[in-house]
Structure 1
C-alpha cells in the first residue's frame, strides 16, 4: 500500500501542475519525469508519502494517539529526511521548529487543502470504523482543522478500509461512504485538480470506481492535471488494496524508485509492519 503510494507520488511529482502539453506528450508510464521546480527529486517521493509514513509509523508504534504525539511524529520524519514537495512556507516552518509542541503552538490549522487527506489512508488498517473516524479527525486537526479537510481525510481512510477488509463491491463504495459520513460523493470528476481537499477526493474516487488496473489508475490520475502527485499517490495506495484490481505497473516504477535510508526497502518494511496490525493489534 505505502509502496504503491510512494510510486504514484514520485511519478506524479514529475507532472505536478505541469503544462497540459507535457502531460499529453510524456504521460505514458515509461519513465519518471523531472519535477517542474525541483530537478533533484526525480524518482523520489514527496511530502505525501513522508507524512503517510509518519501516520503509519505512529500506528505501528502503538503510542497514545494525541495531537502532540502526531505533531511530534510529523516533525520527526521531516527532520530525519528533509525533502521537497511541501508547500514552501510549511517546509520553512518545519525546518525552523524543533518539536511537535512548537508546531502546535505556532500553526494556524484552518486550511481546506488536501494535506490531511493525502496521509490518511494508512489509518484504514484499523478494524473499527468509529476509531478510524476519530483518529483521522485528530490527525487532520493538527494541520487542517476545517470541516472539509476532515471530511476528505475521513473519506480516504474509510475508502482504504473498505478495500482492506473487502467490505463490498466497488459499486457499493459510495453508498458505504454515504451511510457513515452522511455526505454524497459523486465520483465523476473532470478537469484539473487543485490542492483543495474535496476536489482531490472526488478525483481519487473517480479513478478508483472507474479503472480496473493500477497502470490505468496512474495514467488517469496524471491526465487530470494539477495536483496529480497527490491524486496518483492515493489512487495507487488504495487501489492496491482492491483484490479485483490488476497490478500491472511496469517494473521500472519499483526498480527506479529511490532507495536511500527511507526509500523503497524502508517503505516495504513499514508496509509489512502496518499490515500486520490487521491481525496482531486488535486493540488499536
Structure 2
C-alpha cells in the first residue's frame, strides 16, 4: 500500500475540531454499542414486551453491568491502536498499515483467550495492558477464526471467503478518521483490513464504504453527501451491487414516512455487513439528535449492538463529542480508555512529527506505541 499524500495544515481551531470529532466518533460508537448490548438477540416483540412500547430508552444490564460494551468497541479500539502504530513505525522506513492493523487485531484476539495482560510482552503497548478489555462479549466467529493464526488474510487470499458478517463494518470507523489521507486510500485500507477476517466482496466493500462515509463527515460533508461519495467509490469495485443496493435502500427509506422500528427492519436485521451499514446510515440520516438516532438504531429485532455502534460512529463524527448525551457518556464502560486513545490518535495525526521521527522521539510515545 502506498503512503498517503496531501494533508491539511493544522491550526489550533482545526486541531480542536478534529479531536472533538474523533472523540465523538469513538465514544458515540461505544454508547450505541452499550445501548444495544442487552437486547442484541431479542426480537422487536420481545424488546417491547420487556421494556415497554418504546423499547429500550436507556442502558439495560448486559455482561453484569449497565453501559457494557461488546466486541464492536473492543475491535474498534484495536483498529485505532494499529493505525497509530503504523504511523509511528513509518520512521523505520516500513510502511504497510494492514500489517500493523493485523498485529493489533491479533492483540485483541489474545484478549479473548487469555485471563489478562502479559507483562512479558513489552511490545504490546498500553492498550493491550488494559485489564477491562480481557472479556468475551459475543465476538463473531469469523473474527475469531480469521485471527486464529499468524497468517494475514489479503484481498487476493482473504480469510473466510464466503463470510459477509457485520464484523468488518463495526470496527472500521477509525480508517475514516485518517483525515489527511485521500478518500480512495481510506476506502482501500478498510477493504484490505476487512479481508483479514471476512472475504465476501460485500463484507469487505461495506467496510470500505463505511470508512469513506466517516472520512467525508470528518472533512465537513453532511451525511447525505458523504453517502453519495461512497456510492461513487463503490461503483468502481467488482461485487459492489449488494452494498450499493443496501445504501440506496437506506436513502430511499428516508422519504417513505416517519421513522419507526418497522421501517428499520425493512432494511434487514443487521447481521450482515451491508444490512448493518444501511440501518445505521438510515437512523443517522433521520435522527433528530444523538439520542433519537441511537435509540432508533438499537430497537429492532437484529444485531442491535452493531447497528447502534455504527450509527454512533456516524453521528459522533458528524456532530462531535459535545452532542453525546451526558448521562450515557458518564456511564459507558471504558470511557477513560476511549478518551485517552482518541486523544492519542488526534495527537498522532496532527502533531506526529513532534512526537517521533527517524532521529529523535519522545520515549513515552514509543513506550505507548512501540515500533516493533
1:248 to 1:279, Cα distance in 2 relative to 1, 3 A = closer
Count matched residues: 268
Q: Name the TM-score, length of structure 1 as normaliser.
A: 0.83
Could you tell me how far 1:74 is from its partner in structure 2? 1.0
Give the match for residue 169 of structure 2.
Answer: 117
Whether contact under 8 Å (1:110, 1:143) holds in the other structure is no
What secondary structure is seen at the aligned counterpart in 1 of 2:64?
A: helix
Moved more, 17-26 or 223-232: 17-26
Shift of 1:66: 5.1
CA RMSD of aligned residues (A): 2.8
**1:129-148 map, 5 Å:** 129-148=183-202
Does residue 220 in structure 1 map to residue 303 in structure 2?
no
Assess, with a 3 A threshold, how the Cα gap between structure 1 residues 179 and 45 changes in structure 2: closer, same or farther: same
Structure 2 stretches of 5 or more lacking a match?
Answer: 1-24, 90-94, 112-133, 236-243, 254-262, 354-372
Using the TM superposition, name which of 102-111 and 148-157 deviates more.
102-111
Partner of residue 85 from structure 1, selected from 135, 138, 141: 138
For the pair shown, the structure with the greater C-alpha radius of gyration is: 2
CA deviation after TM superposition for structure 1 residue 219, in Å: 0.7
Q: 1:110 to 1:68 in 2, by over 3 A?
A: farther
Deviations 1:191-214 (A, max 9, x none): 151411111111111012111311
8 Å contact kept, 1:159–1:177? yes
2: distance between equivalents of 1:153 and 1:160? 11
1:175 counterpart residue number: 228
**Alpha-carbon distance change, 159 to 42 in structure 1, aligned in 2, over 3 angstroms:** same
CA distance in 1, matches of 2:288, 2:197: 33
TM-score by length of 2: 0.65
Relative to structure 1, is the Cα distance of residues 124 and 110 closer, same or farther in structure 2, using a 3 angstrom cutoff? Answer: same
1:1-284 equivalences in 2 (<5 Å): 1-24=25-48, 25-26=50-51, 27-30=55-58, 32-35=59-62, 39-40=63-64, 42-61=66-85, 62=87, 63=89, 64-65=95-96, 67-80=98-111, 81-87=134-140, 91=144, 97=148, 101=150, 107-126=159-178, 127=180, 128-167=182-221, 169-182=222-235, 183=244, 185-186=247-248, 187=250, 188=253, 190-191=264-265, 192-243=268-319, 247=323, 249=325, 251-258=326-333, 263-280=334-351
Q: Describe the SS at the equivalent of 1:112.
A: coil
In structure 2, relative to structure 1, the CA distance for the partners of 1:202 and 1:103 (3 Å cut) is same
Give, in angstroms, the shift of residue 67 of structure 1.
4.7
Gaps of at least 5 residues in structure 1 are none
1:72 and 1:244 mapped to 2: Cα distance?
29
Change in 2 beyond 3 A, CA 1:101/1:228? same
Please give the per-residue CA displacement for 1:231-273, whole angstroms capped at 9, x wherever unaligned: 1111112201213997252x33222222xxxx22111111112
Q: 1:252 to 1:22 in 2, by over 3 A?
A: farther
1:142 is paired with a residue of what secondary structure? coil
